[in-house]
Each structure stands twice: as structure tokens, then as C-alpha cells.
Amino acid sequence: MAATKTSSAALEELGLPTDRLPRHVAVIMDGNGRWAQARRLPRAEGHRRGVKSVRAVIEACVELGTVDQLTLYCLSSENWKRPRRELEMLMRLLEQYVIEERSEIMRQDLQFTMIGRTEGLTENVLREVDQTVACSRDNKGMRLCLAVNYGSRGELVDTVQDIAREVASGTLDPNTIDEDTISSRLYTAGMSDPDLLIRTAGEMRVSNFLLWQISYSEIWVTSKCWPEFRRNDLFDAFRDFASRERRFGGLDK
């Protein structure tokens, strides 16, 4: 990550009041392979170029100083259907990213975390992720959350099983189960729900991503593939978000 501007300069560039900006931004980073294939490049090159977009978006959010959390959908539980060579490359790329960006995560005062199931992830990835989570635990800045081997239906299954075990053991009264009971047992427990969900590559679906958490999120889709996505695109999404009226089922005042 490069050195960032002051938040006041970035906010002036964006031209929006802080109370109209999203606090939690979630991104479905789609189109790496398609971007590469359209340029007759290996799919792996699309994933490598996508890391530059990750850096650009993180830097822009840090510059603004208004984003509390950025959640990036890196690898879905369905992605294990992809060719073995591509999956091995993704594991190496993730390990490399966590190692190379650790010093920047600390410099930017980011809180690093990961959600998803650990099954299938390499020991090297898990070791490096655990180290970065531990060393950034006391940071006070934006939370950077990577969703890896994540699937929202699987998350809900795990949550239901946890609740069922508590009921069976007598530590939880089933009559007291409410939305807070479920939210507090999701992988995202303690995190706010996303205000804005961004999806690249023009796909009009949420792909099993944060199904519970995005119930009232604003959705913004761009036809650009993820390796093309940069700061200006993020700011376009924020401007569109700021133009919307969020009523959460109520009426305009």
C-alpha cells in the first residue's frame, strides 16, 4: 500500500457529507478470470492483478477515514469446484498477500480478521492469517475482513447447530431465540451489517454472500471486472449510495 492522503483531502475529492457515506462496505470481487481470458492471459494473472484492486480500495477507504469495516469476498465455499492448479495458486496468493501486507496493515492501524470455514485451507495460510490477526488485534483503525472458504448457507447451518446444542444442553431457552440470538452466533458476531454491497463484473446475484447480514444493504453493480476496479469506481459507488433514501421498511419523513 502506498502512503495515503489526509481524510479531509479525500472527503473533499469525494464531495459528500460524512453522514451520507457507508460505514461497512462489502465487496464481491468478481471477474478476475474473465478479465484475464479477454486479454489472452492465464487466469492466474487475473487473480494477481486483482490484488492491486484490493490495495487501491483499502487505501481509498483509509483515506476517507469514515469506513469502519471493509469485507472482501475472496474465496467462496463453492469455489472448490475450480481446477486444482487454480486453487493451489489462490492459496499461495493469499499466503503471499497476508505476509507482504502485514507491515502495511500495522502501519495503517487496520484490524485484520477472516471469516469462513478453515477446512481445506493450507497450514501456511492459516498460520500467516493467525499471526496477522494476533498482531493487529489492538489496532484502532478500520476492520479489514477477508471472507475465505465462506458460504452464507454454511454459516447459517453452523449457527443453527450451535443454537441446537445450547438448547439440548439446557443453556438456552428456545422461546428466547430471536434475531440477536442468531446474529451473535454468526461468523460475523460483533460486526455491523454492511451498508453497501458492491459487485463487479456485471453479475446480478449475491452468490451466497452474507445472506443474513445484507438484508437491508444497498447493492451497487458495475460491469467492470475486479482487476479494473479502482478508487474512482469506489467513489462512484459511494456517490450512488449517498443519493438513495434508506427507509428500512418505513416511510419517507
Give the helix/strand (H/E) hosting 235: helix 231-242
Measured CA to CA, the distance from residue 86 to residue 92 in angstroms comes to 10
Measured CA to CA, the distance from residue 205 to residue 221 in angstroms comes to 9
Measured CA to CA, the distance from residue 44 to residue 201 in angstroms comes to 17
Return the closest-CA partner of residue 218 out of 185, 239, 244. Answer: 244
Measured CA to CA, the distance from residue 247 to residue 237 in angstroms comes to 19
CA atoms within 13 A on the CB side of 240: 14
Measured CA to CA, the distance from residue 216 to residue 246 in angstroms comes to 8
**Using N-to-C axis directions, what is the helix angle for 84-100 and 123-135, rounded to 10°?**
30
Contact 227, 50 (CB under 8 A): yes
Give the helix/strand (H/E) hosting 146: strand 143-150
Contact 177, 144 (CB under 8 A): no
Q: Which residue type sits at 43?
A: R
Backbone phi, then psi, for 145, in 5-degree steps? -115, 120
Contact 58, 105 (CB under 8 A): no
Catalytic positions, written as ranges: 30, 79
